[in-house]
Structure 1
Amino acid sequence: MKIEKDAEKILKEFSKTLESIPDLEETHYIVDNVNLTRKDISTKKNPEKIMRNAKTDKDGNIIVKKADWTN
């Protein structure tokens, strides 16, 4: 098939390209900020902004689809 031939051609060309890449030594980081962490700070949530996209009925209740696997 044409697709298989094209795929083989791409793989052969890619393999040839990989052969021309020189082997390099392991990369070492000069700076100490490789594994940084941040403080776990919560931000205020705006319920009006969150509810803007929710489907609601006339009483303001959220309308959701019941799961098909429940009875």
Structure 2
Amino acid sequence: MKIEKDAEKILKEFSKTLESIPSLEETHYIVDNVNLSREDKAMDKNPEKIMRNAKSDKDGNIIVKKAKWIN
């Protein structure tokens, strides 16, 4: 069958390609940094910076898109 011939051709080409890849030694990393955590602290909030990209009307109200599932 054509599919089997194509598959065999692909496998042969792939095998030839794999032969050209050089053998390398494995690299192992031993790290003591297991399950590190950082201190939980709040970041400073700047409302002006947060609202800079929000669309608003002339009265300063934020304009948002209404959800499609709401009637």
TM-score by length of structure 2 reads 0.60
Which amino acid letter does the alignment assign opposite residue 61 of structure 1?
Answer: N
Is 2:45 aligned against 1:55?
A: no
Which structure has the larger Rg?
2
* RMSD, matched Cα: 3.5
Which amino acid letter does the alignment assign opposite residue 41 of structure 1?
Answer: K
Matches within 5 A, 1:1-71: 8=10, 12=14, 16=18, 20-21=22-23, 24=26, 27=28, 29=30, 31-71=31-71
SS in 2 for 1:49: helix
1:20-51 deviation digits (Å, cap 9, x = unpaired): 545748x351x422321101111111110111
Distance 2:23 2:41 in 1: 45
Distance 1:28 1:49 in 2: 42
Distance 2:46 2:23 in 1: 52
CA drift at 1:59: 1.7
Query: Structure 1: any 5+ residue segments left out of the alignment?
Result: none
